C-alpha cells in the first residue's frame, strides 16, 4: 500500500461522523466497476445477491463470455431466480470471426436495452459492457441514453476495463480496481470457485 494514496487512513479510529450533511435518497443508482484489477464482476454479483435479499427482480446481461461457460455466478443466480442472458461468443483472442462477434454484441445490447427499458427489474447488471463501448462495437451514446432514460426504479451495475468517460460521467459510483498482484501473472491458471 502506498501511504500517500491512503492519507485518509489513521492509526486511531474515527471519532467524528465522516458522512456528509444533507444525505438524500435516490430512486436508483448507476454503479461502474472498471480498472485492470480483479473483482469487477465479483463485486457486481455481490450486489446481485444483495438485491435478491431485498426481493428485487434481478437480470444479468453478460457480454463477451459465451453461454457455454456456465460460471458459478450464473449457476447460483439461476437457482435464485435471476434472469440471465449471455450475449458473447467467448474471448476475442479465440475468435475466428470478429465481425460475427461484433454482430452478437450489437444484438446482445439491443436485448439488454429492452430489458432495462421494460422496467421489470430493480437491478440490471451489464457485465463486461465497457469493452463493447471501448472497441466501438456498440454506440456509447446510445448506451448512455438508455441508462439515462431508464425507469426510475431500475438500478444499473456496469463492469469492465477501459470504461469510456461518458459512462464514468453518468455513474453515481465509480470504482477503479487496481491490480497489485495476480496469480495469473505468476503462471497460475484461473481457479474454479475463486475466478469463475
Q: Rounded distance, CA 140 to CA 99, Å? A: 18
Rounded to the nearest integer, the mean pLDDT of the chain is: 89
Tens digits of residue pLDDT in 110-157: 999 999 999 999 999 999 999 999 999 999 999 999 999 999 999 999
Domain boundaries, the chain: 30-177
pLDDT band at 94 (very low <50, low <70, confident <90, very high): low
Strands (E) across the chain are located at 30-34, 58-66, 83-88, 123-127, 155-159, 173-176
Q: Rounded distance, CA 159 to CA 62, Å? A: 10
Q: Calculate what percentage of the chain has a pLDDT beyond 90.
A: 65
Predicted TM-score (pTM) of this structure: 0.87
Alpha carbon separation from 194 to 41, 160, 183 (Å, rounded): 12, 18, 11
Q: What's the grid cell of residue 113?
A: 436495452
Q: Report helix angle 140-148 to 98-118, nearest 10.
A: 10
Supply the CATH classification number for the domain 30-177: 3.40.50.300
Q: What's the grid cell of residue 143?
A: 448506451
pLDDT band at 14 (very low <50, low <70, confident <90, very high): confident
Q: Calculate what percentage of the chain has a pLDDT beyond 70.
A: 87
Alpha carbon separation from 149 to 17, 35, 66, 160 (Å, rounded): 35, 26, 29, 22
Please give the order of strands across the beta sheet that includes 123-127: 83-88, 58-66, 123-127, 155-159, 30-34, 173-176
Q: Provide the pLDDT for residue 196.
A: 73
How is residue 24 annotated by DSSP?
A: -
Amino acid at each position: 500500500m502506498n501511504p500517500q494514496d491512503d492519507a485518509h487512513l489513521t492509526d486511531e479510529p474515527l471519532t467524528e461522523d465522516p458522512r456528509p450533511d444533507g444525505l438524500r435518497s435516490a430512486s436508483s443508482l448507476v454503479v461502474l466497476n472498471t480498472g485492470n484489477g480483479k473483482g469487477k464482476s465479483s463485486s457486481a454479483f455481490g450486489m446481485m445477491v444483495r438485491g435478491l435479499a431485498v426481493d428485487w427482480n434481478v437480470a444479468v446481461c453478460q457480454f463477451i463470455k459465451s453461454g457455454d461457460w456456465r460460471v458459478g455466478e450464473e449457476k447460483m443466480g439461476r437457482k435464485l431466480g435471476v434472469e440471465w442472458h449471455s450475449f458473447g461468443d467467448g474471448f476475442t483472442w479465440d475468435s475466428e470471426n470478429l465481425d460475427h462477434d461484433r454482430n452478437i454484441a450489437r444484438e446482445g445490447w439491443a436485448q439488454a436495452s429492452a430489458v432495462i427499458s421494460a422496467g421489470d427489474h430493480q437491478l440490471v447488471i451489464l457485465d463486461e459492457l465497457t469493452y463493447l463501448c471501448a472497441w466501438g462495437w456498440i454506440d456509447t451514446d446510445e448506451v448512455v441514453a438508455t441508462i439515462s432514460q431508464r425507469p426510475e426504479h431500475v438500478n444499473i451495475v456496469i463492469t469492465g476495463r477501459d470504461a469510456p468517460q461518458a459512462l464514468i460521467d453518468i455513474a453515481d459510483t465509480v470504482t477503479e480496481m487496481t491490480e497489485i498482484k495476480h496469480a495469473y501473472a505468476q503462471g497460475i491458471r484461473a481457479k474454479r470457485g475463486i475466478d469463475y
